Structure 1
Amino acid sequence: MSFRKYIHAVGTGPKGNRDLTYEESIDMMKQILEQSVHPEQISAFLLGWRLKPETVDEFRGALNACDELIKYTEIPDSIELGYPFDGKRRNPYIFPLVAKELENSGLDLIVIGDELQPAKHGITTKEVCTSLELPNGIKYFDRADFFKNMSDLTEIRMRLGLRTAFNTIEKLPHVAKSDFAITGVFHKPYVKKYVEIFSDRYKRFALIQGNEGTPELFSKGRMWIGSESGTDEFIIDPAYYGINYTKSWDEISFEESLNQIKNPSEEFIKLAKLNAAIYLFIAQKVKSIDEGFELLNG
């Protein structure tokens, strides 16, 4: 179908807009990924699509188109961590420390990275993973290698400079065919939509009110484990586990971020153990987060 029809569907205003069908969403996404249409058309569609806004069927169709172009490397016994590609600005990443805590668990952490995407201008997982000697339990995938079509859209997206549907679609590419996955979510109303979009791609799928939109818990928050049959909610409070870590509200430099990973405080290590316990629970290696935390502190 002509791409102009897709722009018309999302860009004519509340009275004229319409949702794309699942099949149209596949075709739309293929044209964008192949860049067979002009950059201006891609930007116009992404902006209109965001404002319309997007539907679950549209997201699922777009993911289907992505699936056909991704180069998969299956890693059994792994959990995919869905990080935002616009990075973190105020706090260090904790996943390198979490991986160390999980060394004897047999559970690998799947981390995906690429160049910075809109709109936060934070420190990216790629910067961290290419600057540190990573523990064996981290399997890092650079999107430029396994999904070049999406990576090649970076310049267009940065020129637009706004969050788009891609910020949701790109979090969980399922590149390692992991049975388990967790990603961050800001607001509870989005939980149902994320479950409908992603849960059937995994044996067990979780969402967490993580630090700066990441799958990393730094303070009291909620976690949801969703499936087609329903969603279970958990409240997790680091203080309950004797953790008194205070997250930062100020921007930190890349050097300071790396330094806190290389030379972690005692409270940051405790926090890493809690996050590791959460991942063990999601991956069904323990029956509860409490059990996982006790195991890692035993």
Structure 2
Amino acid sequence: MDFFKYIHAVGTGEKGNRNLTQAEAKDMMEQILKQEVHPEQAAAFLLGWRLKPETTDEFRGVVDACDGFIKRAPVANSIELGYPFDGKANNPFIFPLVAKVLKESALELVVVGDDLAPAKAGITLKEVATSIELNKNIHYFDRANFFKEMHDLTQMRMRLGLRTGINTIEKLTRVASSEFAITGVFHKPYVKKYVEVFSDKYKRFALIQGNEGTPELFSKGRLWLVNGEDVQEMIIDPEYFGINYTKSWEKITLEESIEQVNNPSDEFLKLARLNAAVFMFVAQKANTIEEAYEKLNG
């Protein structure tokens, strides 16, 4: 379909805008990924789409389009961790420590990185993953290698400088064909959208109110566990587990982030165990988070 029709659908105002069908959204995204449209047209659509805003059917269509480009490399017994591509600005990544805690658990961690995307301007997962030696149970995938078409949109997205619908759907790629997945979510209304778009793609799917939009819990937050159409909400409080970690509200450097991973404080290490326990629970390696935490401290 002529791409201008998609721009018209999201860029003519409240009275003229309309939602795309799932098939239209798939075609739209395929044209953008193949760069069959000018960058200005792609940016115009993405901005209008965000303001409209996006629907579940549109997100599903975009995911369908992406599935046609992603080169998968299955990892058995794995859980996919869905991280945002705008990085972490104020706190270190904890996943390298979590992997060390899980080294005897037979659970593999799958993470994906790429160059910085809008709009937080944080330290990226890619910067951390390529700057330290990762445990063997971490499987790092660089998007430039397995989904180059999306990677190639990064400069255009950075010039736009704003979050778009791509930020929502890109965190979960299923690059490793993982049976389990957990991703971070900022706002509760997006829980429903994520569930509708991704829950049927995994054996078990979860969302967490994680630190800076990541699947890493640094303070009291909610976990949403999806079983079919049932969504169970629970509160996880580090203090309940005797953890008194204070997260930062100030920007940190890559060097500071890596230093905290290489030489963790006792409280940061406890926090890593709690995050590991959450991942074990989601991946059905324990019946409860408390049970998993006790095993990891045994």
Partner of 2:58: 58
String of CA shifts for 1:62-100, please: whole Å, max 9, x gaps: 000100100000011100000000000000000000000
- Pairing 1:16–2:11 present: no
- 1:194-241 per-residue CA deviation (whole Å, 9 max, x = no partner) reads 100110110000000000000000000100012432100110000000
Asked whether the equivalents of residues 110 and 176 of structure 1 are also in contact (C-alpha less than 8 Å), the reply is yes
Q: 1: distance between equivalents of 2:266 and 2:244?
A: 10
Conserved 8 A contact 1:81-1:183: yes
Name 1:226's counterpart in structure 2. Answer: 226
Distance in 2 between residues matched to 1:133 and 1:5, nearest whole Å: 48
Cα deviation for residue 19 of structure 1 reads 0.3
Partner of 2:7: 7
Amino acid at match of 1:234: M
Q: Write the distance in 2 (CA, Å) between the matches of 1:58 and 1:67.
A: 14
Q: Give, in angstroms, the shift of residue 189 of structure 1.
A: 1.6
State the match for 1:123 in structure 2: 123
1:90 is matched with which residue? 90
Q: State the AA in 2 paired with 1:170.
A: E
CA offset digits 1:19-70 (Å, max 9, x no partner): 0001101100000000000000000000000000000000000000100100
Residue 183 (structure 2) aligns with:
183
- Secondary structure (helix, strand or coil) at the match of 1:47 reads helix
- C-alpha deviation, 1:190, in angstroms: 1.4
The 8 Å contact of residues 195 and 227 in structure 1, kept in 2 or not, is answered as no
> How far apart in 2 are the matches of 1:196 and 1:278?
22
AA aligned to 1:162 is L
Match of 1:216 in 2: 216
Q: Structure 1: 5+ residue runs without aligned partners?
A: none
- In the alignment, what sits opposite 1:154? 154
Aligned partner letter, 1:83: Y
Separation in 1, partners of 2:190, 2:226: 12
TM-score where L is the length of structure 2? 0.99
- Cα distance between partner residues in 2 of 1:227 and 1:292: 19
Distance in structure 2 (CA, Å) of the matches to 1:255 and 1:228: 42
Say if 1:196 and 1:228, in contact at 8 Å, map to a contact too. no
Secondary structure, in 3 states, of the residue corresponding to 2:62?
A: helix
Structure-1 separation of matches of 2:108 and 2:121: 28
Q: Structure 2 CA distance, aligned partners of 1:30 and 1:227? A: 31
Map Cα deviations across residues 253-274 of structure 1 (whole Å, 9 max, x no partner).
Answer: 1111110011000000000000
SS of residue in 2 equivalent to 1:292: helix
Task: Summarize the alignment of residues 270-285 of structure 1 with structure 2, pairs less than 5 Å apart.
Answer: 270-285=270-285
The answer for unaligned runs of 5 or more in structure 2 is: none
Q: Structure 2: which amino acid aligns with 1:48?
A: G
The alpha-carbon deviation at position 283 of structure 1 amounts to 0.3
Runs (4+) off by over 3 Å: none
Please give the root-mean-square deviation of Cα atoms over the aligned residues, in Å: 0.6
Counterpart code for 2:19: D
Question: What is the TM-score when the length of structure 1 is the normalising length?
Answer: 0.99
* C-alpha distance after superposition, 1:158-205 (max 9, x if no partner): 000000001011100100000000000112121111100110110000
